[in-house]
Amino acid sequence: MGLFKESEKYLVIGMGNPEKRYFNTYHNVGFMCLDRAAELLKAEFVKGECRAVTAHTNVDRAKVILAKPITYMNLTGESAVELINKYKIEQDKFIVIYDDTDLPIGKLRIRKTGTAGTHNGMRNVVKMVNSEDIFRMRVGIGRPPVEDMQLMDFVLSDVDEQAKKALDVGIEQAARAVVDFVGGMPIDEVMQKYNKHGD
């Protein structure tokens, strides 16, 4: 206790699409992780600001903002920048959570920097923030189950029952990593704890 400055603020952004029809799709894993993190932190998504729905809470004396942008996935960065500017968030207090088809389903990978890869939402965040030095949590959703299925069709499809159990493991791990991060655990320690099988 007492480790935080009065003004310390954390921002955690989960990526997804706001319409109900996307609620249970693979592309909304970022939202799912934030929902679980909010439960663990006893926070509620009740505020609309900066083109996002946010939940606010405090951990010790640090302010924590969980945000689900309503800009749709590909414009996540626009909402992110508005929130960063509004709350004057420092680089090492900001993290983004999103789905990744290049990781096995349910696998969590946390990094401090890197390219956005093929993820359009993360590309927009990198572009708007004007930096690749963005903490990120990627939750694996695996590849399409059918060989000729288009990637976009897959990520916008509902999570099936067979995949849900494995995906829930990744969501739970990501939510707990968020709790540790906003609780003041340095990102290197968060990575060491949750990237159990290395990069």
Residue 136 DSSP one-character state: E
Catalytic residue among 27, 56, 119, 197: 27
With CA atoms as reference, report the closest residue to 28 among 80, 78, 84, 72.
Answer: 72
Q: Could you give the CA distance from residue 152 to residue 172 in angstroms, rounded to a whole number? A: 25
Query: Under 8 Å CB-to-CB from 119, ≥6 apart: which residues?
Result: 98, 99, 100
- E strand or H helix that includes residue 167: helix 161-182
Note the residue count of the chain: 199
**27 belongs to the catalytic site:** yes
What are the two backbone dihedrals, phi and then psi, of residue 80, each rounded to the nearest 5 degrees? -60, -45
Residue type, 94: F
Active site residues: 27
